[in-house]
Structure 1
Amino acid sequence: MRDAGGRAAVAARQQGTVVPVWSRAARAALLACLCATGLAHAQIKIGQTAGFSGPAAAGVQEITDGARLYFDAINAQGGIKGQSIELISLDDKYEPQLSAANAERLIEQGVVALFLSRGTAQSQALLPLLSKYQVALVAPSSGAMVLHQPFIPQVFNVRATFQREAARAVQHLATIGVKRVTVVQVNDAFGNDAGVGAIKGLEAQGMKASAILRFDRDKPELAPLMEQVAKAGVEAVLFIGPSYAVVQGVNALRATGSKAHIATLSNNASTDFVKALGENAHGVIVTQVFPYERSSNNPLVREALGMAKARGRNELSPAQIEGFAAAKLLVEGLKRCVKDINRAGLLKALEGVQRLDLGGVELHYGPKDRSGLDFVDISIIGPDGKFWR
């Protein structure tokens, strides 16, 4: 039902008269009144461009869910300095060109930081914008070395590097007695980067790769390569690539009858990856860059699980823990803003972070180092489809 003012406005329009429009000052006064009474409040806009559709969609959704879990909890407590956090997420379909276009659009909308980009090429596409607009990129979900070296003042990494992960995977294989390892890597910046870590890891163990095989990101066609691997009788295969390609490779290898150990990196630490592997998931080794998602002894995980259970969820995935940790860093930066929360203030606040305990894991930054965590662990997919450690 319309109120009297609404009926009067309708009558005026029907009679052809002009209804007065509120002045800008009047609208501002009303907004101030609403803010004062708690009926409205300013928002801190955070921008995210990531592949919510496309090959990385499952992992992107999980990592974003973890971040939103923490943001929602902070907002329920009153936000930051009375302002709520609004995460604006745009889908870049895992395409670098669209990543850059989305980021520029978000910056134009007034976001104070970019957050949780996904993918090496996709995150790299944002770098020119960081300097141009003096905006921070917080916790890109990529362990690419290009985000670490050379030093980029606006990038604040959280997770360990892909090179560190690949070396840790090789170290694990060596400890269980494996001598012959084949590296199967996607032929792009991500694959080449992580591949360097694999080679370094092998050298550290006094080993060399039996073979280094590369495949196309868009058209993997891994079955012929897996026939080659099986005939060579290798003891283990380290897959470096996006989940859809690794799933194809693992299934093709198992179809040959090969019982070789299989390892891959944390970009594939999602529940969707496990489901896609089906019966071939059991025994696959997956590196992890955050504490065990079911370990209530770890303060970070205990905090995340507590917030999840309050919302009716009993468990979290490794990707959700990553998103949760990323959100904790960003919120810490927002809290440290001395005056207004804006791009310059957030950059300065994050630059002041030297050590930050995220909950049982300590993040480190230096004057020319934004590596964040160096934590890498090993998990194995169990018969229940869970990551075991």
Structure 2
Amino acid sequence: MFKSSIILSIIMCFSTTVLANTKVKLGMSNATAGPVASLGAELYLGSQTYFEQLNLQGGINGKQVELLSLNDNYEPKLTVINTRTFIEQEQIFALFGYVGTPTSYAIFPILKKTGIPYLMPFTGADFLRRPIQENIFNLRASYLQEAQTQIDYLINKKRYKNIALVIQADEFGLAAQRALNKELSRYNITPVVNARYQRNTRDMSHVIKKLQTKPIDAVIFIGTYEPFSHLINTAAQEKIDVLFTSLSFIASHEVYSRLKYNSRVMITEVFPDPSECRWTICQRFKNDMTKAGVNKLNRVQLEGYINAHVFSEVAKRCEQELSHACLIKQFEQYSFKDKDLDIKFSDNNHQGLQKIYLSFSPGALLP
């Protein structure tokens, strides 16, 4: 817990919220090393690529955008330290593109105390959505919406009843489990297995043992891509033939590339596959990534790119002065439509997107 003097010093840093210098400084804390490094690195890559092209065209009303990135290894304590560094030393304008529910939860007191904008975090957690916090804006759909889509698919389409939950033992796991249990209860279904594992580990031996004790149709996994991939591959070795599912946080491209067997996997997504996307902004994304020398494109990069686009378009509307008050006001009036891409915020809706997609491993599509 933070001492009152620390909180006071942070608040004083933001007592004047008008951007006075020639740069718009954003702070991004996420994992760029360790077992979930791909999430932070790819999200940053997408955002930074957009901002580099934007700066070549004059930035935001003549101000260059500077995206500062610090690694937190997906560990909440490091996220807190990084956030204090951004606010107290770097005096950034907003926090942008953070990755993770437990990391977001750790800095939630700072967000509430300081009122600093917290923009487009890579999480679908409910506490960042309800009740609405004036300074928090999400772009991606929520975990509840993903849970609704997953449970509908498993129960109504696949007719499964024996469902197991494997949950990361932290705020991410709890947030997702609440959403899943809420949806399962609508069908009077209780998970046949509940297993938990520690964040930032891939030890799934105890989980495998639990899965072997019950007849199971599907396993819903809440966590990150390395332990999920390891669980799927180990289950295949143990002849556990089930459908594995997970949320968009898992980074499906990372999971599918690690599968060693013909396993069945379904993942809910909050952005389309760039190779299939027909939005105009997707073509811009592909062109800009090519200019940056990036040839392997994925949904996480696209999300980072569109996060940067939304922030920039909203900030440009503050032509007189870019302040926190103006940014919040303009966010609540912002909408953007591009074919079936429909982004819309309001004073009672701080989540811009609502749509869920499904992706499947090659094995999941077999008879």
TM range (shorter): 0.7 to 0.9
2:275 is matched with which residue? 294
* 2:32 aligned to which of 28, 52, 58: 52
Distance of aligned partners of 1:223 and 1:201 in 2 relative to their CA distance in 1, 3 Å threshold = same
* 1:254 aligned to which of 229, 236, 247: 236
* 2:355 aligned to which of 368, 375, 380: 375
1:319 is matched with which residue? 300
AA matched with 1:178: Y
* 1:239 aligned to which of 221, 236, 253: 221
2:70 is matched with which residue? 90
Distance of aligned partners of 1:125 and 1:281 in 2 relative to their CA distance in 1, 3 Å threshold = farther
Is the 1:163–1:195 contact (alpha carbons within 8 Å) kept by the matching residues of 2? no
1:366 is matched with which residue? 346
Structure-1 separation of matches of 2:262 and 2:34: 22
Distance of aligned partners of 1:281 and 1:122 in 2 relative to their CA distance in 1, 3 Å threshold = farther
2:115 is matched with which residue? 134
1:213 is matched with which residue? 195
Distance of aligned partners of 1:61 and 1:197 in 2 relative to their CA distance in 1, 3 Å threshold = same
AA matched with 1:245: P
Q: How does 1:1-389 map to 2 (within 5 A)?
A: 42-108=22-88, 109-174=90-155, 175-205=157-187, 207-218=189-200, 221-275=203-257, 277-280=258-261, 282-353=263-334, 355-357=335-337, 360-382=340-362
1:3 is matched with which residue? none
Instruction: Tell me the C-alpha RMSD between the 2 structures.
Output: 2.4
Is the 1:96–1:121 contact (alpha carbons within 8 Å) kept by the matching residues of 2? yes
AA matched with 1:345: C
The one-character-per-residue Cα deviations of 1:101-123 (angstroms, maximum 9, x if unpaired) are: 21121123221111011111211
Structure 2: where are the runs of 5+ without partners? Answer: 1-20
The one-character-per-residue Cα deviations of 1:176-217 (angstroms, maximum 9, x if unpaired) are: 232321111112211111112222332344543222222232
Structure-2 separation of matches of 1:319 and 1:197: 23
Structure-2 separation of matches of 1:120 and 1:369: 20
Note the C-alpha offset of 1:231. Answer: 4.0
Distance of aligned partners of 1:146 and 1:180 in 2 relative to their CA distance in 1, 3 Å threshold = same
The number of residues matched between the two structures is: 343
Structure 1: where are the runs of 5+ without partners? Answer: 1-40
Is the 1:338–1:345 contact (alpha carbons within 8 Å) kept by the matching residues of 2? no
Note the C-alpha offset of 1:327. Answer: 0.8
The one-character-per-residue Cα deviations of 1:199-257 (angstroms, maximum 9, x if unpaired) are: 23323445432222222325564223213313423111111112232223222222211
AA matched with 1:213: A
**Higher CA-based Rg:** 1
AA matched with 2:218: A
Is the 1:135–1:154 contact (alpha carbons within 8 Å) kept by the matching residues of 2? yes
Query: SS of the residue aligned with 2:344?
Result: strand
Structure-2 separation of matches of 1:231 and 1:159: 36
1:31 is matched with which residue? none
Question: TM-score normalized by structure 1?
Answer: 0.81
Note the C-alpha offset of 1:270. Answer: 4.8
Note the C-alpha offset of 1:169. Answer: 1.6
AA matched with 1:100: V
Structure-1 separation of matches of 2:238 and 2:273: 33
Among the aligned pairs, what percent are the same residue? 27
Structure-2 separation of matches of 1:84 and 1:72: 9
Is the 1:46–1:115 contact (alpha carbons within 8 Å) kept by the matching residues of 2? yes
